[in-house]
Amino acid sequence: MLRFWRKSKAKTELPEVLGVTIGRAVTVDSISVKLLPQDSLIEVPQLTFSIVAQGHCDLGEQSHLHRFYPDDDTLLLQIQGGDGVTDERVDEIMLWSYYDVQYPSTDHQWREIRRSICQKTFSLSSSQGDVLFERAWFDSSDQPEEPMQYWESVSEDRAGKSGRKIFQSAMLFARELSDGKDEMLLVNMEEVEGTNERSVAFMLGRSLSQHELHI
């Protein structure tokens, strides 16, 4: 179990997780990117990026997601564990690459995407042809399963006093690559509170260890 979190000095401030927060620069170890196999669809355009927004999702049962949005909007750094304030637990670190973002214009399109992510498998179109992923959540079930749903609070200032709330319906899929490791696909349906904004993000991710991040 990793314990590298730094507590914020004021309760109104956003927590620092592994030293990461708004205004900090993060560098991903170059070896972890160079070792991506040829059949991976993940693209990491830059290894060093500055964090300009920070999100938090309370998943319940003492589980939290902390998301860090770089100035390069093709990436997302996500750390799962405790609340980052009183609970310093870190369970998982993921680096996500945005593969595609869609903006359904009709309710029918929205419902069709939601229906597709409930299935046992998901086919992702790529330059290599259709790539099949298997459901990682509810993987023991052969039946359609409802997506996970949660709110994310996103702030763009260190004090955490301003921001927006996004309701998310998500499903996680995976496929094994040639190096024997899994490439993850997160399909995230997002609805911004108080607006008509909604979008679907298709993100590809790999797990990172703490020593692969440099602040």
Phi, psi (deg, nearest 5) at residue 42? -75, 135
Which segments of 49-176 does DSSP mark as H helices, in order? 107-117
Please give the Cα distance from 168 to 188 (Å, whole number): 6
pLDDT digits (tens, 9 = 90+) for 52-78: 999 999 887 778 899 999 988 899 999
- By percentage, how much of the chain surpasses pLDDT 90? 65
pLDDT digits (tens, 9 = 90+) for 117-144: 999 999 998 887 899 999 999 999 999 9
pLDDT number for residue 129: 86
pLDDT number for residue 32: 85
Angle value at C-alpha 99, between 94 and 104, nearest 5 degrees: 120
pTM, rounded to two decimals? 0.88
pLDDT digits (tens, 9 = 90+) for 106-118: 999 999 999 999 9
3-state helix, strand, coil in the chain (%, to 5): 10, 50, 40
pLDDT number for residue 150: 92
CB 14 within 8 A of CB 158: yes
| CA-wise closest residue to 80 among 101, 94, 68, 69 | 94
Please give the Cα distance from 20 to 210 (Å, whole number): 12
pLDDT number for residue 6: 43
Please give the Cα distance from 199 to 184 (Å, whole number): 20
4 pLDDT above the threshold of 60: no
pLDDT number for residue 143: 96
CB 26 within 8 A of CB 215: yes
Neighbours of 78 (CB within 10 A): 20
